[in-house]
Amino acid sequence: MTRWGMVIDLARCTGCAACEVACKSENNIPTVSPDQAEMGRATSWMRVMAEPKGAFPDTTLEFYPRPCMHCDNPPCIKVCPVRATYIDPEGIVGQIYPRCIGCRYCANACPYTVKYFNWYGPEWPESERQYRNPDVSVRAKGVIEKCTFCHHRLQKAREDARAQGRQLREEDYQPACAEICPTDAIVFGDLDNPTHRVAELKEDPRVMRLMEDLGTQPKVYYLRQRT
């Protein structure tokens, strides 16, 4: 059974935020005005969190790139009254925008705070329309959105593989963040396929998941710093 997942090696991540920007570019994430951003209304499906500790000069800091965890047991879908958020058989947690009624229950249920609400209709000035990705819908006012593991790429990859009469390969389906990362800190693939790198890496002794005790069973794994 295919189960799409991600392993992020914190020892490789430099906090450069290329993944963040690549995600915005791939997924038509609109920018908001400075005062809206000030109110916490900027959207970033992938966000590089930084956690500084200690005092100068004994400071340390860890970067956590944080997409949706695509939980195997996702609290967000349980609270959605209209099943606008769902998990597909291959483990991708998605959002059906036309069905979402904007109650924001799921955003409150998600312990990882990865769900963003569109408080206003997206503004697409002419300049920004030019580079929108035609494969990804833009979202309307009043709906929730979040990281999709770039699942539009999966559809395309499947169609291509089918057209060429072959199996889907690991490299055929890679989300934008994994593709851009200059240090290869983000590895993506089928957790249940032993030939995929993620399957091997999730057995690494450094592996951990965020807030595992909540029982959400995230499919995003982190590899801790080397000591």
Residues 115-134 that bind another protein (CB under 8 A): 121-122, 124-134
Task: Provide the 10 A C-beta neighbour count for residue 175.
Answer: 26
Task: Provide the 10 A C-beta neighbour count for residue 164.
Answer: 8
CB 204 → ligand SF4: shortest distance, Å? 17
Q: What, of another protein, ligand SF4, none, does residue 34 touch, CB below 5 to 8 Å by kind?
A: another protein
164 sits near another protein (criterion: CB under 8 A) = no
187 sits near ligand SF4 (criterion: CB under 6 A) = no
185 sits near another protein (criterion: CB under 8 A) = yes
CB 56 → another protein: shortest distance, Å? 5
Return the closest-CA partner of residue 46 out of 63, 28, 22, 70.
22
- Helix runs in 71-212, H state only: 75-79, 105-109, 126-129, 151-163, 176-180, 197-201
Contacts of 80 (CB under 8 A, 6+ apart): 103, 105, 106
Using the rule CB under 6 A, give the single segment among 127-135, 165-173, 180-188, 198-206 that binds ligand SF4: 180-188
The rounded distance, in Å, linking the Cα atoms of 29 and 116 is: 11
Using the rule CB under 6 A, give the single segment among 24-32, 109-117, 125-133, 166-174 that binds ligand SF4: 109-117
Task: Provide the 10 A C-beta neighbour count for residue 138.
Answer: 17
15 sits near ligand SF4 (criterion: CB under 6 A) = yes
CB 195 → ligand SF4: shortest distance, Å? 23
70 sits near ligand SF4 (criterion: CB under 6 A) = yes
Exposure string over 43-54, b if 16+ CB within 10 A, otherwise e? bbbbbbeeeeee
Q: What, of another protein, ligand SF4, none, does residue 101 touch, CB below 5 to 8 Å by kind?
A: none
Which of 6, 29, 68, 100 is the binder for ligand SF4 (CB under 6 A)? 68
181 sits near ligand SF4 (criterion: CB under 6 A) = yes
